[in-house]
Structure 1
Amino acid sequence: MSNNAVTNTLDSNFGSLSNAWNVPAPVNGAVTLSGNSAMMEWATGRDAGHGYGTYTVTAKVDGNQPGPGIILWPGDNQWPGQEIDMLEITPDGSGRQYGTVHWNNNGADAYQTAIYEGVSSGQFHDYQMVWAPGEITFKVDGKTMGSFNQHIPTDFDHGGMNNTIGVMNNNPATSITVSHIDFTPLGASAPAAATASVAVATPVADIALNLAATASATTAPVDTSHGEVIDWNALAAQVTANFEATGHWFI
């Protein structure tokens, strides 16, 4: 696909996020990911997923530890790369939420983060990211939480690569419940969101995806009609290697 609009109401299935792993069927118009689980659009090439536009995910996080994530994964399924995380949890036990922009720095992962001050777990929020040429902005419930204008990827339609939408949980003490996922291409009418003051982006240790517990217990789903699939076990091994080298969980 090339930057097509998408809406997933999660009433009866996972919609475009059909690369699902350990995820139960929707209940009452929502999907809850707990333990080690994930659902994602298929990352089959540079044009897979979506590019410039507005991404909106209505979700609720339970727990105050790293584990839940709303992930925009590189369309070519290669990492390190242009991973964009609309939601993660800090590792300090405070339950603070944040967004991250990753890029490939000569073969190493590099990133910048924005803390979502005042955003609480245990209740639904509208998480929104606006990806425009040269800028990415994170919003929660219409309030701008951080904006970046460096290391911003270019989408496929403009010579770069798209990202696929995904939701993950990788901690038995946390969960994430999602009720709606929406993408509107740049220039189209996006879901309404009020504008507020910009918060300063704050660096934190990037505890993105604690996948290590899954390495020996699970196998990625295989669907040859979609080509290459996400190798969850390979990601778990990468997380473990990162922890051993740096003392931090991240991918």
Structure 2
Amino acid sequence: MPNNALSESFDNGTGALGSAWNVDTSTKGEVKLSGGGAALMEFASGKEAGHGYGTYTVTAKLDGNQPGPAILLWPGDDKWPGQEIDLAEITPDGSGRHYGTVHWNNGGSDAYTARVYDGVSGRSFHDYQLTWEPGRITFRVDGAEKGVVTDHVPADFDHGGMNNTIGFLNNNPNTSLTVSHVDFKPLGGGASAWAPPAGQAALQAAPAETGTPVVPAEASGPVDWAALAAEVMANYEATGSWFI
């Protein structure tokens, strides 16, 4: 399947993201996910579903200071734990800061590494951007680089791996996620020449973590991914559909 470009402004409901659960489309040009269980995603029908290497940009507003909203790239084969990449979530320390993650299947258990977007919080729209390249994922917010991951970066379908589908969820009644635009542009070729800019070398060199997001020690706390995974899989096994 071609790694096709995508641009969606939600002028006609959920548009290209057809798998929806409790999504508010009443305002033209945006979708809103709120309450304890809302999700919107492209259909995850196999390893070739969705998109691969390229740049993903989502204009969205995450409201709240608790985990709940997520802008994510869900595994194309709809299996979890697995190849999940998150453009934005809310840290569990009460600060309301946002962060991105790269997940992988570690022998049947979820493992991930995270990058906190210092200086980024809710109550306003931001452009969350992720560039997925061979061996590297770069997170940006409003054009500013916020972190790089070079460990456990998956290959996309065209390069022997799997694609991911674009999705959103909110699983906390005290939070919400509003999305006004989604854009994906495929990577133009192979790996680009890249070196970390000043100040980013230490971040790139930081080892991958498993089990806790990369937040300062004085404000750290666990994300209950095991409970999230159990809920996702229970719903999938019961209904054949992805939602939380």
| TM-score category of the 2 structures, normalised to the smaller one | 0.7 to 0.9
Q: Deviations over 1:5-44 (max 9, x none)?
A: 1111111221221100011224131111101201000000
Structure 1 unaligned regions, length at least 5: 189-194, 223-227, 237-251
Evaluate the alpha carbon distance shift between residue 58 and residue 186 of structure 1 in structure 2; reply closer, same or farther with a 3 A threshold: same
The whole-number CA distance in structure 1 between the counterparts of 2:38 and 2:27 is 16
| 2:23 aligned partner | 23
Q: Is the 8 A contact 2:34 2:172 kept in 1?
A: yes
| 2:117 aligned partner | 116
> How large is the Cα RMSD of the aligned pairs?
2.7
Q: Which amino acid aligns with 1:132?
A: E
Evaluate the alpha carbon distance shift between residue 47 and residue 63 of structure 1 in structure 2; reply closer, same or farther with a 3 A threshold: same
Q: What are the residue-to-residue correspondences of 1:187-198 with 2, within 5 Å?
A: 187=188
Instruction: Please give the TM-score of this superposition, normalised by the length of structure 2.
Output: 0.82
Q: Deviations over 1:170-212 (max 9, x none)?
A: 1111101100001100018xxxxxx986653672434569759
Instruction: Please give the TM-score of this superposition, normalised by the length of structure 1.
Output: 0.79
The whole-number CA distance in structure 2 between the counterparts of 1:121 and 1:18 is 26
| 2:92 aligned partner | 91
2:95 is the alignment partner of 1:100: no
Evaluate the alpha carbon distance shift between residue 210 and residue 6 of structure 1 in structure 2; reply closer, same or farther with a 3 A threshold: farther
Evaluate the alpha carbon distance shift between residue 62 and residue 208 of structure 1 in structure 2; reply closer, same or farther with a 3 A threshold: farther
The whole-number CA distance in structure 2 between the counterparts of 1:85 and 1:120 is 16
Q: Which amino acid aligns with 1:93?
A: G
Q: Is the 8 A contact 1:63 1:175 kept in 2?
A: yes
Q: Which is worse superposed, 24-33 or 123-132?
A: 24-33
Q: Which amino acid aligns with 1:53?
A: G
Q: Which amino acid aligns with 2:88?
A: L
Q: Deviations over 1:36-61 (max 9, x none)?
A: 20100000000000000000000001
Q: Is the 8 A contact 2:110 2:225 kept in 1?
A: no
Q: Is the 8 A contact 1:2 1:49 kept in 2?
A: no
Identity between Structure 1 and Structure 2 (%): 58
Q: Is the 8 A contact 2:13 2:28 kept in 1?
A: no
Q: Which is worse superposed, 30-39 or 195-204?
A: 195-204
Q: Deviations over 1:132-158 (max 9, x none)?
A: 000000000001110011100000001
SS at match of 2:158: helix
2:208 is the alignment partner of 1:183: no
Q: Is the 8 A contact 1:59 1:176 kept in 2?
A: yes
